[in-house]
């Protein structure tokens, strides 16, 4: 195979499936799009409040039950509205992207969001997927434009200053994507090779910090994929979830079995004033992790691309 080749045309295979996390059908209640906006400064951000947490994955204790006065109060507005509003991506393949046959947004993050709607309404279809950009995740919560954000958002102490998080629902991390047949299993194995990552990303920082590797910056991971397909770079660095989505678009791409080079814990974002809603969501996540729905969703979306089974991350509680 020559180093330079045109981007492969991958045949899409449509499967109408029942959503794994309690949905009765693949139809969502509604879908809206929020235009990209400039984040609104918050008092905590403008006052440079010090970060006090020492474990960004620590969340509030889950409710003892999904019923009762506390749960009713936390969900009153949502139940009155008749649907759960969730901020999501629509272009992160395998996490949340539009199915080319049905036009609906599907993926691991959508399964998680629908599990919460299922718990609230006993109907996973009572959900409104609000398409937002990465930059709109925090402002959408602060303005109460959405109830939750399930958009591969890494939990950090700095973000806890502006919003609240559920317990960790997925632990992503930095890996590499290479051509099938490559024996590389780490960045160090790519000495003398060109490795692409988005400009300004921690992934590109990791590439630059690896001796012998030739870093190549691009606007996005999709732009890196074009360079990879054209033979202009030898590998791509990024979160394993993102790389899995790229593999799904290119049959010549491969993510080798390897340890994650960084840890990127994903949490569900919630307005920090809605502490009891966080506690309700945590009870739902505990159920999803315990009854096998998490493992089923992971196997459906990620296992083929990442080649390894996974267990749900352990929930850490006790935040005051």
Give per-residue pLDDT as tens, 165-211: 999 999 999 999 999 999 999 999 999 999 999 887 778 888 999 99
Number of domains in the chain: 2
Dist. CA 69–CA 169, nearest whole Å? 26
Same domain? 157 vs 119: yes
Same domain? 79 vs 137: yes
Mind giving me the DSSP string for the chain? Answer: --S--PPP-PPP-------SSS-SSS--SEEEEPPP-PPPP-HHHHTTPPP--S-TTEEPPPPS-SSSHHHHHHHHHHHHHTSEEEEE-SEETTTEEE-TTT--EESHHHHHHHHHHHHHHS-TT-EEEEE--GGGHHHHHHTTS-SEE-S-PBP-HHHHTT-EEEEEEEEE-EEEEEETT----SGGGGTTSEEEEETTSHHHHHHHTSTT-EEEEESSHHHHHHHHHTTS-SEEEEEHHHHHHHHTT-TTEE--S---SS-EEEEEEE-TT-HHHHHHHHHHHHHHHHSSHHHHHHHHHTHHHH-S---PPPPEE---
Q: Is 230 within a domain? A: yes
Same domain? 135 vs 88: yes
CB distance 130 to 85 below 8 Å:
yes
Query: Last residue of some domain: 223, 254, 285?
Result: 254
Nearest to 238 by CA among 286, 177, 185: 177
Q: Is 192 within a domain? A: yes
CB distance 116 to 177 below 8 Å:
no
CB distance 160 to 51 below 8 Å:
yes
Query: Last residue of some domain: 208, 224, 254?
Result: 254
Same domain? 209 vs 313: no
Indicate if the pLDDT at residue 112 is higher than 90: yes
Same domain? 37 vs 104: yes
199: domain CATH number is 3.40.190.10
Q: Is 201 within a domain? A: yes
Same domain? 150 vs 164: yes
pLDDT of 220-256, one tens digit each?
788 899 999 999 999 999 988 889 999 989 999 999 9
Q: Which of the four pLDDT bands, split at 50, 70 and 90, describes residue 32?
A: low
Same domain? 62 vs 204: no
Same domain? 243 vs 274: no
Dist. CA 76–CA 97, nearest whole Å? 30
Q: Is 123 within a domain? A: yes
Same domain? 217 vs 152: no
Query: Last residue of some domain: 201, 222, 254?
Result: 254
Same domain? 110 vs 148: yes
Q: Is 22 within a domain? A: no
CB distance 269 to 148 below 8 Å:
yes
Considering just the CA atoms, what is the radius of gyration of the chain in Å? Answer: 20
Mean pLDDT along residues 88-100: 91
Same domain? 168 vs 283: yes
Dist. CA 57–CA 31, nearest whole Å? 30
Q: Is 21 within a domain? A: no
Nearest to 284 by CA among 117, 108, 141: 117
Dist. CA 173–CA 240, nearest whole Å? 6
pLDDT above 70 as % of the chain: 84
| pLDDT averaged over every residue in the chain | 85
Dist. CA 277–CA 62, nearest whole Å? 9
Q: Is 15 within a domain? A: no
Indicate if the pLDDT at residue 30 is higher than 80: no
Q: Which of the four pLDDT bands, split at 50, 70 and 90, describes residue 257?
A: confident
Q: Is 155 within a domain? A: yes
Domain membership of residue 168 as a residue range: 30-172+265-317
pTM of the model: 0.75
Same domain? 163 vs 243: no
């Amino acid at each position: 195979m020559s180093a330079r080749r045109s981007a492969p045309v991958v045949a899409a295979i449509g499967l109408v499936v029942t959503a794994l996390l309690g949905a009765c059908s693949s139809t969502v209640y509604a879908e809206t799009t929020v235009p990209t906006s400039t984040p609104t400064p918050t008092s905590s951000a403008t006052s440079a409040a010090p970060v006090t947490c020492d474990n960004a994955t620590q969340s509030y204790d889950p409710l003892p039950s999904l019923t009762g006065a506390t749960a009713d109060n936390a969900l009153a507005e949502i139940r009155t509205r008749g649907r759960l509003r969730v901020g999501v991506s629509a272009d992160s393949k395998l996490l949340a992207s539009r199915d080319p046959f049905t036009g609906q947004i599907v993926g691991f993050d959508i399964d998680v969001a629908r599990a919460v709607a299922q718990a609230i309404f006993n109907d996973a279809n009572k959900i409104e997927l609000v398409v937002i950009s990465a930059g709109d995740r925090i402002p959408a919560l602060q303005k109460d434009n959405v109830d939750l954000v399930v958009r591969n958002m890494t939990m950090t102490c700095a973000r806890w200053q502006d919003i609240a998080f559920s317990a960790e629902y997925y632990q992503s991390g930095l890996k590499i994507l290479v051509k099938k047949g490559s024996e590389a299993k780490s960045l160090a194995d790519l000495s003398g090779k060109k490795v692409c990552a988005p400009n300004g990303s921690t992934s590109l920082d990791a590439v630059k910090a690896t001796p012998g590797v030739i870093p190549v910056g691009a606007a996005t991971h999709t732009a890196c994929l074009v360079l990879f397909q054209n033979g202009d770079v030898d590998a791509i660095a990024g979160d394993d979830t993102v790389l899995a989505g790229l593999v799904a678009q290119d049959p010549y791409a491969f993510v080798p079995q390897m340890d994650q080079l960084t840890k990127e814990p994903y949490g569900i974002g919630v307005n920090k004033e809605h502490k009891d809603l966080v506690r309700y969501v945590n009870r739902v996540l505990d159920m999803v992790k315990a009854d096998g729905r998490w493992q089923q969703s992971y196997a459906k979306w990620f296992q083929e691309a990442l080649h390894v089974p996974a267990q749900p991350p352990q929930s850490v509680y006790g935040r005051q």
